[in-house]
Amino acid sequence: MAVPLFNLTSDLIVSRLCLGTMTFGEQNSLAQSFQLLDKAFHSRIRFRSGQKLRGEVRNISAVGFGSGKFPAIKLYLPLRQVSGPSGQMAWIRGGPGSLDAWNITEAIDGSLTRLQTDCIDLYQIHWPDRYVPMFGEIEYDPTRNFSSVSVEEQLSALQKAIGAGKIRYVGLSNETPYGLMKFLHAAERISIHVRIVSLQVLYDSQLYLKNCYNFLCRNFDSGLAECCSHERVCLLAYSPLAMGILSGKYLSLDGGPDDALNLFRGRYAEGESRYSLSNSTIKKATDLYVKIAKKYGIHPVSLAIAFVLRHPLVASAVFGATKLWQLQEVLDGCEVELIPEIVTEINRVHSAFPNPCP
C-alpha cells in the first residue's frame, strides 16, 4: 500500500507516517534497521525521525542513514531535534545545562556530520529550556522555575542556521500553549528575516509542533489544538501507540514479550511511570480500546494509528517498529475507515477514562 502524503508547505511534502528510529542500533541491528527502512520506503514513507541516544546507538541510528548501504535513504526527509537541559543524559553534548546558541549550533553541526548531509529539512527543539510539567506531570509548580535561555536567543541561533543553509524549517516539541505562542510572537519581533519566516509560519504552516497524542493521551485537544488551528501550525503526533501499550500485547498474564518495552525495564523511568499497566485505569482503558478493535475486525495497532491520523490538525504520526510485521500493522492503519459507530465507542471510553497517560 502507499502511505498518503501531506503538504506541510508549498515545497515540503511529508508522508502521513513518520518512521522513528529510537530502536535502531539497540533493539535492531543495522541490517534489520535497513530492512525496515526498505519496506517503509517502498510503502512511500518519506519522513523519518532521529533520536537523542547513547554513543554507539546514536551513531548507528544517524550514521547508518548516510552510509550508502541504503541507496534511497537520501530521499527521506529527516527530522532532527536539539535537546536542552538534559539532567543525567550526559551522552547529549555532555548533558547540556541550557539550550543556548552554542548548544543549538553544536547539535546542528553534529547531526549534519552524523547524517552525512548538508541540510536538515525540519529541525525541532526537543523540549523547552524552562520548567514545564511534562512526561506524565499534570500540575504546574511555579516554585520549580529556573533561569532559562530566552526564546529570542534560541530563534536567532536557528535563524542563522537557516541562513547558512543548514536547516530549512523549525519546529517545537513537548511544548505548551504558552510556549508555542511565545515562539510565534518572538519570531515576529526579532528581525525582518525571522518576521518573514513567522508570517510564513502563520499562513503557510512552516512551524511544526511535535507532541504526544494517542487514545490514552489527548491533552493536545485542551488548549494546544486551538493555538495550532488559529496559527496554522501542524501537529506531528508522537507515541501514537503509547509506547506499544495500545497494541494489547502487554495485557497478557505474562506481561508481554521480553524483547519489547520490557527489555528496558528500569531504564526509562518517565516512560514506565507514564505508561504503566500497573495503573488500573490505564489497563482498563487499554483493554476497552483493544476490544473495540476486535469487535470491528481491526488490529488494535491499526485502529490506534487510524484514530491519530483522523485528527484534522495532525500532519503525520511518528511511530516506531522493530519487526516488519509490526510495520505492516502500522501501514494498515492508513486504510482503516473510522465509521461513526467506532468513533462513538472510542469517545465513550475516553469519557470514562480521560487521558490516563498525560
Q: What confidence tens digit (pLDDT) does each residue in 219-252 have?
A: 999 999 999 899 888 899 999 999 899 999 989 7
349 versus 269: the higher-pLDDT residue is 349
Q: Which residues, listed in sequence order, are joined to residue 77 by a DSSP beta bridge?
A: 47
Find out whether 331 and 17 touch, Cβ atoms under 8 Å.
Answer: yes
Q: What is the pLDDT of residues 178-224, one digit of tens each?
A: 999 998 888 878 653 443 232 333 333 356 788 899 999 999 999 99
**Range with lowest mean pLDDT among 60-64, 99-103, 170-174:** 60-64
In a domain, 272, yes or no: no
Helices 177-189 + 224-231 axis angle, to 10: 30
Contact 76, 46 (CB under 8 A): yes
Pairing of strands 47-49, 167-173: unpaired
Rounded distance, CA 248 to CA 78, Å?
A: 30
d(CA 214, CA 353): 13
Q: What is the mean pLDDT of residues 310-323?
A: 93
Tell me: the pLDDT tens digits for 270-285? 556 678 888 999 999 9
Look up residue 204 and give its amino acid. Answer: D
Pairing outcome for strands 17-20 and 314-319: parallel
pTM, two decimal places: 0.86
Count the domains in the chain.
Answer: 1
The per-residue pLDDT for 120 is: 85
3-state secondary structure (DSSP) of residue 20: strand
Q: Is the pLDDT of residue 174 over 70?
A: yes
CATH code of 53's domain? 3.20.20.100
User: What cell was used for 299?
Assistant: 488490529
Report the pLDDT value the prediction gives residue 125, as an integer from 0 to 100: 85
Domain that holds residue 47: 5-244+314-335
Percent of all residues in the chain with a pLDDT value above 70, rounded to a whole number: 75
Residue of 171 and 340 predicted with greater confidence: 340
At residue 355, φ and ψ (nearest 5 deg) are 50, 60
The pLDDT score that the predictor gives to residue 208 is 73
Kindly state the cell numbers that stand for 335.
486504510
In a domain, 265, yes or no: no
The mean per-residue pLDDT over the stretch 282-295 comes to: 97
Is residue 231 a part of any domain in this protein?
A: yes
Chain-centroid distance of CA 253 in Å reads 30
**pLDDT digits 0-9 by tens, 322-343:** 999 999 999 999 999 999 999 9
Strand partners, 235: 209, 314
The predicted-structure confidence for 128-164, as pLDDT tens digits, reads as follows: 888 888 777 778 889 998 888 999 999 989 889 988 9
176 or 329, which is more confident: 329
Per-residue model confidence (pLDDT) at position 63: 46
pLDDT top residue among 48 and 257 = 48
Type of residue numbered 134: M
In the chain, which residue ranges form alpha helices assigned H by DSSP?
Answer: 30-42, 55-63, 101-115, 151-163, 177-189, 192-204, 224-231, 269-274, 280-295, 300-310, 324-332, 340-352
pLDDT at 123: 84
DSSP annotation of 251 reads G
Note the pLDDT tens digit of each residue in 32-58.
Answer: 888 998 899 899 998 777 654 444 445
Residue 83 lies in a domain: yes
Higher pLDDT, 11 or 132: 132
Distance CA 32, CA 201 (A): 38
DSSP code of residue 311: S
pLDDT confidence bin for 88, thresholds 50/70/90: very low
Amino acid at site 297: G
Q: What is the mean pLDDT of the chain?
A: 80
> Is residue 129 in some structural domain?
yes
The CB-based long-range contact list for 288-292 (8 Å cut-off, 24+ gap) reads 288/349, 288/352, 288/353, 289/215, 289/246, 289/346, 289/349, 290/246, 290/248, 290/251, 292/342, 292/345, 292/346, 292/349
Q: What confidence score (pLDDT) does residue 140 get?
A: 85
Answer yes or no: is 299 within a domain.
Answer: no
More confident residue, 267 or 137: 137
207 located within any domain: yes
Q: Is 296 part of any domain?
A: no
Which pLDDT value is given to residue 53? 44
pLDDT band at 254 (very low <50, low <70, confident <90, very high): low
Beta bridge partners of 15: 5
pLDDT tens digits for 108-125? 998 888 878 888 888 888
Higher pLDDT, 290 or 203: 290
How far apart CA 277 and CA 274 sit, in angstroms, is 9
